[in-house]
């Protein structure tokens, strides 16, 4: 069952759903919570002739460049047809009783921004910033202000039978990630 505004507020105020930095109540909508753009990004390095098999084990450290924007006046720009990884400003901590999906915001999508390519699901018990898969499908450059602009939203779903903490820890690939493209944990 999807959680509506009153459920989201109750879960947040109870301390079971946590954000760091904390959100404002204005970020909670009818059935989603808006999240802000963080300051950490990754871009693919130009690799002419290189073929990767991302579904297999591979080390992304040689293929991507992680970088930070630090100042309040720094701007994140996305050129037409460009792909970048970023993350939310907020670290999100879900209880084992809740899963989430990350979505783009319709007003930004109408300008050409996609915030996830294929990975909207966030597992129960997840804790960390949410990595966003930015793609600009428009013919103009997009720009955003990290720390201020609301670039995505999460919707939350009640989990019928919460998984045990041992399963959450062993099966969570990117739990606690600090950079947008960390090496995969190997189980």
Chain-centre distance for alpha carbon 168: 18
* Per-residue pLDDT at 32: 97
Per-residue pLDDT band for 187 (boundaries 50, 70, 90) equals: very low
Domain ranges of the chain: 5-45+60-171
Of the candidates 121, 131, 119, 120, which has an alpha carbon nearest to the alpha carbon of residue 91?
131
Q: Is a pLDDT exceeding 80 seen at residue 7?
A: yes
Query: Any idea what DSSP says for residue 45?
Result: P
Average pLDDT for the chain = 87
C-alpha span between 101 and 129 (Å, rounded): 13
What distances in angstroms separate CA 89 from CA 19, 30, 163, one per listed residue? 9, 21, 27
* Per-residue pLDDT at 56: 76
What distances in angstroms separate CA 92 from CA 139, 141, 151, one per listed residue? 33, 29, 15
Residues found in the chain: 187
* Cβ-contact 21, 174 below 8 angstroms: no
Per-residue pLDDT band for 162 (boundaries 50, 70, 90) equals: confident
* Per-residue pLDDT at 77: 95
Task: List pLDDT tens digits, range 82-140.
Answer: 999 999 999 999 999 999 999 999 999 999 999 988 888 899 999 999 999 999 999 99
Task: List pLDDT tens digits, range 21-70.
Answer: 999 999 999 999 999 999 999 998 877 887 777 777 766 667 788 889 88
- Sorted by sequence, the CB contacts under 8 Å of residue 104 that are 6+ apart come out as 113, 114, 115, 116, 151, 152, 153
Out of 2.70.40.10, 1.10.580.10, 3.40.50.720, 3.40.718.10, the CATH code matching 5-45+60-171 is 2.70.40.10
C-alpha span between 3 and 31 (Å, rounded): 6
* Cβ-contact 25, 164 below 8 angstroms: no
Given the residues 82, 133, 143, 158, select the one marked as catalytic.
133
* 82 catalytic per annotation: no
Which has more pLDDT, 165 or 132? 132
Q: Is a pLDDT exceeding 60 seen at residue 183?
A: no
C-alpha span between 136 and 163 (Å, rounded): 36
Which has more pLDDT, 94 or 181? 94
Q: Is a pLDDT exceeding 80 seen at residue 164?
A: no
* Per-residue pLDDT at 53: 79
* Cβ-contact 118, 166 below 8 angstroms: no
């Amino acid at each position: 069952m999807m959680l509506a505004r009153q459920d989201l507020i109750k879960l947040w105020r109870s301390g079971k759903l946590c954000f760091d930095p904390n959100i404002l109540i204005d970020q909670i909508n009818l059935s989603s919570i808006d999240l802000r753009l963080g300051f950490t990004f990754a871009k693919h390095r130009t690799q002419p002739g290189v073929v990767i098999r991302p579904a297999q084990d591979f080390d992304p450290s040689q293929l991507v460049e992680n970088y930070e924007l630090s100042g309040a006046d720094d701007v994140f720009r996305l050129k037409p047809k460009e792909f970048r990884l970023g993350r939310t400003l907020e670290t999100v901590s879900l209880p084992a009783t809740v899963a989430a999906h990350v979505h783009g915001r319709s007003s930004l999508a109408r300008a050409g921004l996609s915030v996830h390519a294929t990975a909207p699901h966030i597992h129960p018990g997840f804790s960390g910033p949410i990595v966003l898969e930015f793609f600009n499908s428009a013919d103009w450059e997009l720009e955003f202000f990290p720390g201020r602009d609301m670039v995505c939203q999460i919707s939350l779903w009640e989990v019928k039978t919460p998984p045990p903490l041992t399963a959450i820890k062993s099966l969570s690939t990117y739990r606690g990630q600090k950079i947008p493209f960390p090496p995969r944990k190997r189980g």
